[in-house]
Structure 1
Amino acid sequence: MKRIGEMIKVRPEKLEEYKYHHAHAWPEINAMIKECNIQNYTIFHRGDYLFAYYEYVGNDFEKDMAKMAADPKTKEWWDVVKPCQQPLEDRKEGEWWSSMEEVYRLD
């Protein structure tokens, strides 16, 4: 299992809209997340930031993420929620959500 943490900013004027959409997430989106071997997916909010945590339990992360990105319903969902987000200025090339380094874990 691979644990993943990511951050992004939320546009303050879009916060309530973002929360609404995630409180009413589309069933197809939740199904695709699970189909792509992601579990325990959680998004937290504080101030202008969103923090996502999830666990990847598959064997080919890049393949599963490509499958998700190619899914028409996922693309539609991203069209709804991406305007609420603002990528971090120091993100890596090609990132939307900024990846984070795990520095401590207690199992």
Structure 2
Amino acid sequence: MNTNRICCACDLVNEPQLIEEYKAYHAQGKAWPEITESIKSAGILDMEIYLVENHLFMIMEVDESYSAERKQKMDALNPKVQEWEKVMWKFQQAMPSAKAGEKWVMMDKIFKL
């Protein structure tokens, strides 16, 4: 099976209490099961999110079935994902380069050892 790594960035509202709440939603076993299932069903094999200050960095390992467009369509039809995203907007903020309604922005790989 061929896999691909995709990295994205997003900012959080720079308020310590909100950042702690966001971390609590993402603590091991705390993400809603419907959300983790929707991630897996989109062809995402593994996902990690890292935080520094109010900046998030997400690494996804995806299989051949994954496409961002397909994931967006699946999410739009999933009421629980829409609910989760509404909750997450309390914490997340669009990066300056984001398109309207976009939070996570794809990163370009500029170095590999």
Q: Could you state the TM-score of these two structures normalised by the residue count of structure 2?
A: 0.82
The answer for unaligned runs of 5 or more in structure 2 is none
RMSD, aligned CA = 1.8
SS in 2 for 1:43: strand
Q: 1:4 aligns with which of 6, 12, 23?
A: 6
| TM superposition shift of 1:94 | 5.5
Aligned residues: 106
Structure 1 or 2: larger helix share? 1
Q: 1:56 aligns with which of 59, 62, 78?
A: 62
1:18 aligns with 2:22: yes
Contact 1:39–1:56 (Cα < 8 Å) also in 2: yes
Pair 105,65 (structure 1): closer, same or farther in 2 beyond 3 Å = farther
Alignment-derived partner of residue 81 in structure 1: 88
Distance in 1, matches of 2:31 and 2:74, equals 19
Alignment-derived partner of residue 72 in structure 2: 65
The answer for unaligned runs of 5 or more in structure 1 is none
Identity %: 34
Which one-letter code corresponds to 2:77 in the other structure?
A
Q: 1:100 aligns with which of 83, 100, 107?
A: 107
Alignment-derived partner of residue 36 in structure 1: 42
Cα deviation, 1:14-44, whole Å, max 9, x if unaligned, reads 1011011112101111111001111220110
| TM superposition shift of 1:93 | 5.6
Q: Could you state the TM-score of these two structures normalised by the residue count of structure 1?
A: 0.86
Distance in 2, matches of 1:45 and 1:19, equals 9
